[in-house]
Amino acid sequence: MESNRVLIAGAGPVGLVAANTLADAGVPVVVFEAEPRLPENLRASTFHPPTLDMLAKFDAARRLMEMGLLAPRLQYRDRAGWAVEFDFGVIADLTDHPFRVQCEQYKLNGVLAERLATFAHARIEFSSPVVDVGQDANSVSVTVDGPDGRRVIRGNWLIGADGGRSRVREALGIELEGFTWPERFLVASTPFEFADVIPNLCDVSYFADPEEWFFLLRVPGLWRAMFPTRAEEAEADILSDDVIERRLQRVWPKRERYEVRHRTLYSVHQRVAESYRKGRAFLAGDAAHLNNPLGGMGMNGGIHDAVNLAEKLVRVARGEASASELDRYERQRRPIALEYVNTITIANKRSLEARDPEEQRTWRETLTRSANDPALAREYLIRVSMLASLRKAAAIE
């Protein structure tokens, strides 16, 4: 197996899921992480049902359920009082986890890194950014700027899971095609208990509004509120106490100021790499695709990439499949990023921000009809939970 060594750039959720899948099968793996320790920044916090099914084999779904909270329902509302709800119970026959788990993604990374450390044939090298990639017909190499200087490490395959600004993607000369929205998104977290004041509020609630849509996601001890910002607003203003306060007061007006524990402003893209493979190197997760967060599909889709690719690498390492099997990875996963995740997340954004009253009415009527009809609700949840995307990918030869 030593000659089958897989190199992975990036110890995010995608790199670590791939590494655990490979290590479980006895394939040697080295993960290079640029940071001195696992980053603990607040990013994705939603795990969809099929992602939890995949993480169950690492016992990570159970750990996430312990550390996070279960959201069995999903809600759309507006400021005037319209609300519809979808209950994941209608897809309970298709998944072992008929709910979303709300938990910060860095907690998953901790669980996966801890598990990886139990394998003699797997390791994470911290403070080790990959700065270059080379390859020939028989091997691939990465140049790493490690704590002891620059080194070249050789392996059989490379997975670039080094995030949206992927150095691996750049070194391979692969374009990230698509566009960036003019507005950035603000996330503000507060311990204020919105569920005490907003009637029947679900843990995952999207609020449509032609002036300023927002969504509320609960994680343990906090609500995360996400808002679009205007392109002309300055970063310092957006992140200032007063402007965040004004936005939160529009969610629920109250006399006291809001306590804000975290604030993040980030650019939002709809981009997909022109190719997911170059020779012995592959791209997965944010290195391969970026989308807006309306639907919580970025990290989930990346984990689905990681499982798809790592399982193929395992079959090739064991001699159960020829190397041409690896071409199926791009054939199966790239159309999902382009036609499924991109389409759904763009449609979600357009629906929440729609200004045209006719467009708003059509969206509300469609959702209300779906929520009230068990067959339509099931179809809807199969799509938004990403089960449909996995079925679609599996059907591609």
Ligand X SMILES: Cc1cc2nc3c(=O)[nH]c(=O)nc-3n(C[C@H](O)[C@H](O)[C@H](O)COP(=O)(O)OP(=O)(O)OC[C@H]3O[C@@H](n4cnc5c(N)ncnc54)[C@H](O)[C@@H]3O)c2cc1C
Residues that bind ligand X (CB under 6 A): 9-15, 32-35, 39, 43-46, 105, 129-130, 161-163, 167, 187, 264, 266, 285-287, 293, 296-300, 302
Cα distance between residue 97 and residue 60, in whole Å? 13
The least CB distance from residue 297 to ligand X, in Å, is 5
The least CB distance from residue 97 to ligand X, in Å, is 16
Residue number with CB closer to ligand X (39 or 210): 39
What contacts 24+ positions apart, CB below 8 Å, involve 58-65?
58/17, 58/20, 58/24, 58/111, 58/112, 58/115, 59/115, 60/108, 60/111, 60/112, 60/115, 61/97, 61/101, 63/107, 63/111, 64/101, 64/103, 64/107, 64/108, 64/111, 65/101
For residue 19, give both structure tokens.
């590494």
Residue number with CB closer to ligand X (167 or 280): 167
The least CB distance from residue 256 to ligand X, in Å, is 27
The least CB distance from residue 324 to ligand X, in Å, is 26
Residue number with CB closer to ligand X (110 or 129): 129
Residue number with CB closer to ligand X (34 or 52): 34
Residue number with CB closer to ligand X (27 or 34): 34
The least CB distance from residue 100 to ligand X, in Å, is 10
Residue number with CB closer to ligand X (86 or 185): 185
**Half-sphere exposure of residue 43, counting CA atoms within 13 Å on the CB side?**
21
Pairing of strands 185-190, 262-266: antiparallel
The least CB distance from residue 165 to ligand X, in Å, is 7
